Amino acid sequence: MLCKTIPLSSSNPKVILSTYILDDSLQFDTGKKRPAILIFPGGGYTFTSDREAEFVALEFAARGFHAFVLRYSVGAAALVPAPILDGFSAIACIRDHAVEWNVDPNQLVVCGFSAGGHLASGMMTMWKDAAIVEAMGRPAQQLRPDAGILCYALLQLPFRIPPSNTGVPADQKQALIAKLESEMQEPQHPDWAKAIFEEDGLLWLDTAAIAYLNCFGTLQPDGKQLQDYSTVLRVDEDTPPAFLWCTTPDDIVPASNSVVFTAAMMEHGRPVELHVFGSGGHGLSLAKVTTGSPDDLHPAGEWFKLATRWLEEVLKAPDQAAGSPFAREKQKSSQQMEDGEKPAQYYKNIFDDRASMFRHVPFSLEQEIVRHVINGDEQAALEVLNKIYQQGRKAVLAEDPLRSQKNSMICFCTFLTRAAIQAGVTDEEAFALSDASIQHIETLRNQKAAMEYEPRMLLQFIGLVKKRQNKSYSLPVRKAIHYIASNLEKPLQLSAVAEYANVHPNYLCRRFKQETGSTLSSYAISRRIHESTYFVQHTNYSMAEIAALYGFSSQSHFISTFKKVLLVSPGEYRNQSRNP
């Protein structure tokens, strides 16, 4: 095995690519090149975790992969797009040395954990971004990974990690800062200590704020910054095949991140596989003793076997993945192929069928049930669900029948979540119900119980839609409400809302006022204020930071508007909520 460290950045000597290249003599077929796996450890962009690095690389090496671990920019050096460019530099390096290292350049897989999963998903969704291509000075096709494995990955911004209680008394803040600085592998942003705040006489640490600070240079970045690096929003028809796994008890990165990314992949017709395990917290790595687990029997430890089995199928013909630039080039040269010469298309169809988690259910029925959820029609939705049952059970998603049924229900939950959001339910409400539903699914002990819960779950989502919306609202008004809820950080532009609702601006204003009793602008302002109460109540962010997050022109404007809507100032609201 060739083990070496390669510096990748002239400006940051700590950006290192470690290689675990297998000896060519071990290759039974010496003319065959090996696939490569590029691993991004987690660490919240404050450090890179050791237990998600070499241990994982050696496990993949044992399965015949050339393995690589990237120590990317973290801490004060993590200001975006630095880590993203580090990742693409690693991809470029591996492909540049493909002949020397006996790497198949068309079988390069990225694998990331937690924040490293966010980075890996960036490789999968940003490879053709014009700014990235220009910065790298290479054709986009040379930057595209062929597949991705996302392990309890951060995929949706903004993200909220509950602040952790350090247990240190408030009067020992300087001692805590000194202790934490001594434990940090890399220098952090100079303002990192502002993420420590006092509550109930103790010091609390907001780790999410530190990650934001390192990546965006501020404790509370604006909505556009978050949107630009929310990789779930970047999924399209060119995104490489993805394998995702997570756990429902994860209190750092909720399972909904993986669920919504999977839904986005399915929406764009991309190959994807998702596994949600019912036990285990964050940072499991291989879920073995060597990576911190108490034993080697943790159920989530199955992810590695499942992922490598998935890769065996995906990498049989990586250039056949739908939307792949490699596929397009091959299609150009094979358009004249005679009818009897279509093995590639045949195997592509088989692959697409296997990758589609709902392949046995007609798409028309999926769309019909989504439509009934949006309309809040319980009876019609149940009738369609019964039609789906009559089609036969869904695809086999695991060897164990109960596990397969649970996975199918989790996918169904994904559709319901997106339907609820489309109907006007806020993302936070929809994903809260989604997380609760998935957690309940994991508690089911037999297929009968699972069968009984599925229609109940359907009705729960419809109930959420009916509760959130007044059913007298017309479709344009519901669409306007959904647009406002999804763009709270942006200034309200009537033309954009009307275009989304597919009606004339004047008609929308008149109809919205008639049905809600409020103007569009007044509704948007009220919605922003009510959403901002989360940060006022549960965080130590300044009012200026919260004002910026919700698009207010100044702190004073936010405070005066808050008081007008809720009849108390944000400072008074914070004090009342913390001292009831």
DSSP string, 295-312: SS--GGGGHHHHHHHHHH
pLDDT of residue 150: 98
User: What is the distance between the alpha carbons of residues 420 and 425, in angstroms, rounded to a whole number?
Assistant: 6
Is 49 within a domain? Answer: yes
Judge if the upstream peptide bond of residue 158 is cis by omega within 30 degrees of 0: yes
> Does one domain contain both 461 and 507?
no
Euclidean distance between CA atoms 329 and 336, whole angstroms: 14
Closest CA to 40 of 135, 118, 96, 93: 118
Mean pLDDT lowest among 206-215, 440-449, 471-480: 471-480
Per DSSP, 17 falls in state E
* Burial (Cβ within 10 Å: 0-12, 13-18, ≥19) of residue 486: middle
Task: Of 448, 384, 454, 385, give the one whose Cα is nearest residue 413.
Answer: 454
Instruction: State the angle between helix axes of 555-566 and 570-578 in degrees (0 to 180), rounded to the nearest 10.
Output: 60
What is the DSSP-derived secondary structure letter of residue 75? G
Give tens-digit pLDDT for 182-232.
877 788 889 999 989 888 889 988 888 899 999 999 988 887 888 889 999
DSSP bridge partners of 111: 39, 149
Total residue length of the chain: 580
Domain match, 238 and 299 both: yes
Q: Is 194 within the bounds of a domain?
A: no
Residues 480 and 452 in one domain: no
Q: Which of 286, 320, 354 is the last residue of a domain?
A: 320
- Contact residues for 495 (Cβ-Cβ < 8 A; gap 6+): 505
Q: How many CB atoms lie within 10 A of CB 115?
A: 28
Q: What is the pLDDT of residues 356-383, one digit of tens each?
A: 433 445 556 666 787 788 888 888 888 8
Q: What is the pLDDT of residues 447-470, one digit of tens each?
A: 888 888 989 999 999 988 887 655
Is residue 131 domain-resident? yes
Top mean pLDDT of 255-264, 290-299, 408-417, 421-430 is at 255-264
Any domain includes 301? yes
Classify residue 503: in a domain, yes or no. yes
Which of 468, 485, 514 marks a domain boundary?
468
Look up the CATH number of the domain holding residue 482.
1.10.10.60
Q: Is the pLDDT of residue 351 over 50?
A: no
Is 540 inside any structural domain?
yes
Residue 335 has pLDDT above 90, yes or no: no
pLDDT at 342 over 50: no
Per the DSSP assignment, residues forming a β-bridge with 4 are: 19
Residue at token pair 């100044």: 554
pLDDT grade for 168, boundaries at 50, 70 and 90: very high
Q: How far apart are CA 293 and CA 307, in angstroms?
A: 19
Of the candidate ranges 102-111, 352-361, 526-535, the one whose mean pLDDT is the lowest: 352-361
pLDDT grade for 310, boundaries at 50, 70 and 90: very high
The CATH number assigned to the domain holding 278 equals: 3.40.50.1820
Separation of alpha carbons 391 and 165, rounded Å: 51
Beta partners for residue 148, in sequence order:
110, 242
Q: Which helix (H) or strand (E) holds 247?
A: strand 242-247
Ranges 139-148, 404-413, 419-428, 522-531: which has the least confidence = 419-428
381 and 515 share a domain? no
Q: What pLDDT score does 577 carry? A: 67
Per-residue model confidence (pLDDT) at position 20: 96
139 & 273 share domain = yes
Q: Pick from 468, 491, 524: which residue ends a domain?
A: 468
Quick check: helix, strand or coil at residue 13?
coil
Is residue 321 scored above 90 in pLDDT? no
| Residue 276 is assigned to a structural domain of this protein | yes
Q: 431 and 488, same structural domain?
A: no
pLDDT of 489 reads 72
What's the token pair of residue 199? 């509550």
How many CB atoms sit inside 10 A of residue 194's CB? 16
Asked if the structure places residue 243 within a domain, the reply is yes
Question: At residue 318, what is the residue type?
Answer: P
pLDDT at 483 over 60: yes
Q: What are phi and psi of 553, to 5 degrees?
A: -70, -25
Tokens of 271: 């190959």
**Beta carbons of 429 and 461 less than 8 angstroms apart:** no
Same domain, 433 and 563: no
531 and 555 co-located in one domain: yes
Parent domain of 381: 363-468
Phi first, then psi, for residue 123 (nearest 5°) are: -60, -40
Q: Are 261 and 230 in contact (CB under 8 A)?
A: no
* 527 shares its domain with 454: no
The answer to whether residues 135 and 258 belong to one domain is yes
* Residue 346, SS3 per DSSP: helix
Among the residue ranges 49-58, 92-101, 548-557, the one predicted with the least confidence is 548-557
Angle at 367 between CA 364 and CA 368, to 5 degrees: 85
Same domain, 461 and 486: no
What per-residue confidence (pLDDT) applies to 67?
97
Instruction: Kindly tell me the burial class for residue 155, based on how many C-beta atoms sit within 10 Å of its own C-beta (0-12, 13-18, 19 or more).
Output: buried
* Count of domains forming the chain: 3
Q: What one-letter code names the amino acid at 492?
A: L
What integer is the mean pLDDT of 234-242?
Answer: 94
Q: Tell me: do 494 and 422 sit in the same domain.
A: no
Q: Round to whole Å and give the CA distance between 393 and 381.
A: 18
